[in-house]
Chain A
């Protein structure tokens, strides 16, 4: 089944959150106005990323992330020709141009550069191809999406999107989920927000207590929400809407029925629907 749409309607944050929670494996292709991005995932973790603006080979990644100079990258590339990234990586380590850590970190940084850029795209048709993986010649490095979502949300510049997700900060409060915090990289501001989470504190109060403006608190809460670290709850003390007394004859009759009578009505309905 497809996972198709436009980032205008379903943002990068929401998309990565879905891939993360559903532990999806496959390729996400996004057609942006200026370039196309291709992200690969294995069981909900980002393993590879590329764009159509460069060849995405290891030497390019290492050059783009400052681990090889342009001359070194060109020389290695022309020498290795059409060798796979894995062969090229081995060659780079043997010639001591870079270490293994440089390669892993270079691939990671390159992937993150692409994916963080994607968070700033307001539009772009996307399509997820289930089970499509990068070629065996590519070097893959698995990255936990929780941290990517948190960091990416900090880069969102569209206030409207944040407002849609969190409409009224004065009427919502936060609850920390049971997802462990130890594996996620939280900033000082994130911790300041977490330290004020209490059933009685609305998000607006948390912002006021921390001297944060609305945009700042929305970005932090949105990121933590999408990464599954917190959930929205109604603040303690806010009155629940009371159910109205039924005004229709059928409504009044239903309200006066005993539990057994109500059950019997539903059972009759079930039998009737089955016979349609």
Chain B
């Protein structure tokens, strides 16, 4: 499963909240002043794991948010079960980038996806309904409320994606 979204949307935190291992991360200090909304950023990928049994493991891959690392996106998208686009609901300046990332990933694969409107606990957060219109997301795609620090909220987003994947499989089988 791939967790993508713009820079500082909360992808590393999202994976950390449910991964059974400490997230294997490739964070580096941020050099550019323009991007200094946080101290460190992911440069290659984040990696989390949820074991089901001896034969089945769910891997969560977080993509780097900055565009200069977008060569990693296609590599990470290969063979994915589905993807989650995480959006920072309090930073409208990142919405255009979120839309771009969404389009790029849709181009890589036809797997189901959901959009998670992160930071819904913050007072200036745009609602999922407003984000749906802002990002021009069709009605058949779920736009979910999310707080990446909250395990239950993250579980809900992953579950909703899995339900969509299941529905998609059933629809394909006719």
Contact = CB atoms under 8 A, between A and B. Distances in A.
Interface residues of A, number: 38
A238 interface: no
B79 A248 contact: yes
Given A244-B78, A270-B166, A276-B151, 9 more contacts: A1-B127, A4-B124, A22-B129, A164-B96, A262-B169, A267-B166, A268-B53, A269-B58, A273-B162
Interface string B153-165: 0010011001101
Contacts of B18: 273, 276
B158 A273 contact: yes
Contact-size category for B: 35 or more
Given A164-B96, A248-B79, A18 B130 contact: yes
B70 to A, nearest CB: 15
Interface stretch (A5-13, A100-108, A109-117, A181-189): A5-13
A274 B159 contact: yes
Interface in A156-195: 164
B93 A5 contact: yes
A263 B169 contact: yes
A9 B151 contact: no
A75 to B, nearest CB: 46
Interface of A: 1-6, 8-10, 14, 17-18, 21-22, 164, 241, 243-244, 246-248, 250-251, 254, 259, 262-263, 265-274, 276
B92 A272 contact: no
A10 B123 CA distance: 19
16 contacts: A1-B125, A2-B124, A21-B133, A248-B78, A250-B79, A254-B79, A259-B172, A263-B170, A269-B58, A270-B163, A271-B52, A272-B58, A273-B58, A273-B155, A273-B162, A276-B151
B78 A272 contact: no
Interface in B97-144: 107-110, 123-127, 129-130, 133-134
B166 A263 contact: yes
A169 to B, nearest CB: 16
A17 B133 contact: yes
B83 to A, nearest CB: 14
Nearest to B57: A250
B39 interface: no
A69 B107 CA distance: 60
Contacts of A246: 78-79
A6 B95 CA distance: 12
B31 interface: no
A17 B136 CA distance: 11
A10 B133 contact: no
A268 B163 CA distance: 12
Given A21-B133, A270-B159, A2 B165 contact: no
B21 interface: no
Given A1-B125, A1-B126, A276-B18, A18 B155 contact: no
Contacts of B110: 243
Count chain B CB atoms within 10 A of each CB in A4, A243, A274, A276 and give the residue with the most: A276
Contact of B56 (A3, A17, A269): A269
Given A248-B78, A254-B79, A276-B151, A9 B50 contact: no
